[in-house]
Amino acid sequence: MTRAPLRVVYLIDKLQRAGAQVHLGQLASHLDPGEFVVEVCCLMRGGPVADRLHERGIPVDVLGLTTIYGPRAWVELVQLARRLRRRRVDVVHTYLISANIFGTLAGRLAGGPSVVTTRRDVGISRNWRLRAVEEWLINPLADRVTVNSQAVAEAALHERNLDEAKVTLIPNGVDVGALDPARFPRDAIRREWGLSPEESAVGAVGHLSPVKGHADLLDAAARVSARHPRTRVFLIGDGPLRPALEARARRLGIGDRVTITGVREDVARCVAMLDVVALPSHSEGMSNALLEAMALARPVVATRVGGNPELVHDGVSGRLVPPGAPEPLARAMIELLGDPETAQRLGGEARRQVAERFPLERMVESHKALYRSLA
């Protein structure tokens, strides 16, 4: 007898291009439509990831809320619960704190679906009020909690009302084939950004917010420039710290060598042109940006925080340095820029390890198995 497809609804607050959003888009897009009927509910607003899901025929419902509190939010919650019940949804999978709260309550009001919430960092994204709500109300109601690294799992297990049996570790995955370095003509891309053959390029991908450590990278870049004067710095992304980072670069005397690209849809092309990719974060769960750089065979320098040591083996597939310390970060970048052979070896091993340990297909299959076990 043919088994009916499982109905899965994903909930998230926004669908701009960021780690959790990109992950959700990849997962929803790669579930076999013969086995899973997928919908996405966005609490606040859409964005590029929503547009991509629409293009792939996956329905995205944008509620347009400004907060998950207040009369309108409660009305939407009840209506969502009715839709989940009416459509006989099997699994509600929520991403990030607001959706974890909103979606879990809707799922339980609906009566039928299993509820899966997520943790994608070590707790920095939640203030004490939201954490209290999640620990005392949501954790007892959720059937499973997915985490993307061992570091995140360890942090989650310190929460109240969350026992080990509920926590499921599913690492992030990347499309290694789509990130084949052979697909990206480095020389042509470098020319597009005005890089001469004599110039080196270092950079980072991420939202320009304090936790990402871009200020440390600029401080390190000033030291790198003293040894390698023909070095350019690319910050691939945008965010509230942009004016402060631009001012810092000018104070350090490297303003003319720092480019902040803004939000890009061609992130992989930008990363492919870099000679060294840095991840100077002060905290991480499991960084998609780091995985993608490694899949592109770029030599990486990452801080020893969160899930980064689970991805990068120091001296084998990249370099690990302490967080908040520009001097060691600069030394690692200087070493790699001055030793192209080692940089190439680290980059090649990084790609091999990502292909072996973190392929997109494995991440998708793990979620499919979880959904089937719940349904």
pLDDT in tens, the chain (375 residues): 567 899 999 999 998 888 889 999 999 999 999 999 999 999 988 888 888 899 999 999 998 888 777 788 889 999 999 999 999 999 999 999 999 999 999 999 999 899 999 999 887 767 788 888 888 999 999 999 999 999 999 999 999 999 899 999 999 999 999 999 999 999 999 999 999 999 999 999 999 999 999 999 999 999 999 999 999 999 999 999 999 999 999 999 999 999 999 988 899 999 999 999 999 999 999 999 999 999 999 999 999 999 999 999 999 999 999 999 999 999 999 999 999 999 999 999 999 999 999 999 999 999 999 999 998
How far is residue 306's CA from residue 154's CA, in Å, rounded to a whole number?
10
What is the pLDDT, as a whole number, of residue 125? Answer: 67
CB within 8 Å of 251: residues ≥ 6 apart: none
List residues bridging with 14 in a β-sheet: 45
Q: What is the DSSP letter of 157?
A: T
The answer regarding whether domain 181-357 maps to CATH 3.40.50.2000 reads: yes
What is the pLDDT, as a whole number, of residue 48? Answer: 87
Q: CATH assignment of 6-173+359-374? A: 3.40.50.2000
- Relative orientation angle of helices 326-338 and 340-357, to the nearest 10 degrees: 110
How far is residue 54's CA from residue 167's CA, in Å, rounded to a whole number?
31
What is the pLDDT, as a whole number, of residue 47? Answer: 86
How far is residue 296's CA from residue 20's CA, in Å, rounded to a whole number?
20
Asked, colleague to colleague, whether 6-173+359-374 and 181-357 share their fold, the answer is: yes
- Are the C-beta atoms of residues 245 and 162 closer than 8 Å to each other? no
Segments making up each domain of the chain, as ranges: 6-173+359-374, 181-357
Residue whose structure tokens are 């004490």: 128
Q: What is the DSSP letter of 315?
A: T
Residue 77 burial class via C-beta count within 10 angstroms: exposed 0-12, middle 13-18, buried 19 and up:
buried
Can you tell me whether residue 217 is helix, strand or coil? helix
Pairing of strands 276-279, 200-205: parallel
What is the pLDDT, as a whole number, of residue 16? Answer: 83
* Closest of 236, 210, 285, 369 to residue 23, by C-alpha: 285
How far is residue 206's CA from residue 183's CA, in Å, rounded to a whole number?
23
Q: What are the b/e assignments for 20-39, b being 16+ CB within 10 Å?
A: bbbbbbbbbbbbeeeebbbb
* Closest of 26, 8, 30, 7 to residue 291, by C-alpha: 26
